[in-house]
Amino acid sequence: RGWTAVQVAEEAVVDLPGRSPRIGGSIGFAIFPDDAEDRDTLINNADLAVHRVKVSGGGKTCRYERAMDEAERARRALANDIPRAMEDGEFFLHYQPQYSVASGEITGYEALIRWQHPKKGAVSPADFIPIAEKYGLIGALGDWVLETACSEARDHVMDGRIAVNLSAVQLADPRFVDRLKAILVRTGMSPAKLELEVTETAIIADKMRALHVLRQIRALGITLAIDDFGTGYSSLDTLQSFPFDKIKLDRGFISELASSDRALAIVRAVLALGRSFGIPVLAEGIEDAGQLEILRHEGCQEVQGFFLGRPARWEDAVRLGKVAAPRARRA
Ligand code: C2E
Ligand code: MG
Ligand code: MG
């Protein structure tokens, strides 16, 4: 009686020369006997509580609640379903066109995974990718995405690249580059037509290792884009550490563009940064003509978004992408 299980998670300690390191922590706890009746369950429940703190940004204290169990059970059930779904062919790719603002030409397509679940319907990658990462399934799923994107695109895209999203976990896998090479060989895809999109979180977790892998990928002739730029917490440091080929400005700034001077200031600053580095900036999430006009006026090089083309099956993406092309060019 009165026993409490406490789980503590440390946060990454960022060691910058000349600055004091920031140390953070997250605490989750469960109290006997209300939250669990035996030792193992008590500790497990404190673990669920600390996990909740971590996913919501960390730095807080949280007591276990029964709802966490259910959420965790649902995640685990979805994870268990992924290998079966791969076998049953429930995953497929959508492609979304990317455009040059100056010429209106399509510069490439981003491959986005889709899951048509027999009972749950369409499951969003924003939901199942983190689960696949957590349960060690992203390696197989990520390979499948690469292999499928390379073979679907190989014969079709004469100009432009296919951009594929990479998860932090894939980047941390020491065998990833070998598998990537094997996929290029198997599909006959030209590395020059492949772009990989990585987010900053992928790099921050283990920076030295990630930079090493990025250099190996680059050496194959594949280009690299930094995705969701501006949402990480050390964007500028990441850009300084690795010479990316493209900056993908997060759509959060674009949606605020018309209403917020601050968003506009940030967009301008990132475009200036891209110019100084000599790398193009692609703005994500263009949803209307007004946003496109502002970006054109500010000198943004590339755009992608529902206004110009929604993600769709390969043939539809190509057909509809061409229809929207003049819109991207129009001044
Ligand atoms: P992301 O890489 O930033 O992809 C862009 C997301 O924005 C896509 O969501 C796309 O459908 C959506 N989007 C595009 N244009 C617009 C727009 O105009 N307005 C709005 N509101 N949204 C727009 P999606 O397909 O749901 O993917 C979400 C995230 O899941 C992706 O963000 C990416 O991080 C991840 N993801 C998707 N496919 C894969 C994959 O094959 N592998 C990995 N590791 N992650 C993936
Ligand atoms: Mg992306
Ligand atoms: Mg993005």
- How many A from CA of 202 to the centre of ligand 2? 13
C-alpha 317: how far from its chain's center?
21
238-249 average pLDDT score? 92
Burial class of 226 by CB neighbour count within 10 A (0 to 12, 13 to 18, 19+): buried
Provide the pLDDT for residue 29: 94
Provide the pLDDT for residue 56: 79
Least confident of 17-26, 94-103, 131-140: 17-26
Whole-angstrom Cα distance, residue 266 to residue 272? Answer: 10
> What atom of ligand 1 comes closest to residue 304's alpha carbon?
15
Least confident of 10-24, 169-183, 309-323: 10-24
Of 298 and 330, the one with more pLDDT: 298
Tokens 């669920």 -> residue? 48
- Ligand lying nearest the CA atom of residue 255: 1
Least confident of 144-148, 203-207, 287-291: 203-207
pLDDT in tens, 169-215: 999 898 999 999 999 999 999 999 999 999 988 888 788 889 999 99
Query: Mutate which of 165, 183, 308 to test ligand 1's pocket (most atoms within 8 Å of Cβ)?
Result: 165
Q: What is the DSSP letter of 160?
A: S
For the cut 70, the answer to whether the pLDDT of residue 308 exceeds it is yes
Q: Using CA positions, which residue lies closest to atom 23 of ligand 1? A: 285
> What atom of ligand 1 comes closest to residue 306's alpha carbon?
18
> What atom of ligand 1 comes closest to residue 126's alpha carbon?
30
Provide the pLDDT for residue 153: 83
> What atom of ligand 1 comes closest to residue 142's alpha carbon?
42
pLDDT in tens, 73-130: 899 999 999 999 999 999 999 999 999 999 999 999 999 999 999 999 999 999 999 9
| Residues contacting residue 157 through CB under 8 Å, at least 6 positions apart | 108, 109, 193
* pLDDT averaged over every residue in the chain: 90
- How many A from CA of 248 to the centre of ligand 3? 7
Reported as type and span, the H/E element at residue 142 is helix 138-154
- How many A from CA of 26 to the centre of ligand 3? 28
Q: Using CA positions, which residue lies closest to atom 22 of ligand 1? A: 285
- Ligand lying nearest the CA atom of residue 196: 2
> What atom of ligand 1 comes closest to residue 164's alpha carbon?
41
Torsional sign, CA 170, 172, 173, 179: positive
- How many A from CA of 110 to the centre of ligand 2? 7
CA-based radius of gyration for the chain: 22
224-239 average pLDDT score? 85
Whole-angstrom Cα distance, residue 113 to residue 313? Answer: 11
109 is written with which tokens? 């397509």
Q: How many residues does the chain have?
A: 331
Q: What is the DSSP letter of 14?
A: B
For the cut 60, the answer to whether the pLDDT of residue 1 exceeds it is no
- Ligand lying nearest the CA atom of residue 305: 1
Question: Which residues partner with 61 through β-bridges?
Answer: 27
Q: Using CA positions, which residue lies closest to atom 8 of ligand 1? A: 112
Residues with CB under 6 A from ligand 1: 96, 112-113, 124-126, 129, 142, 145, 165-167, 197, 227-228, 251, 285-287, 305-306, 311
pLDDT in tens, 51-62: 888 877 778 899
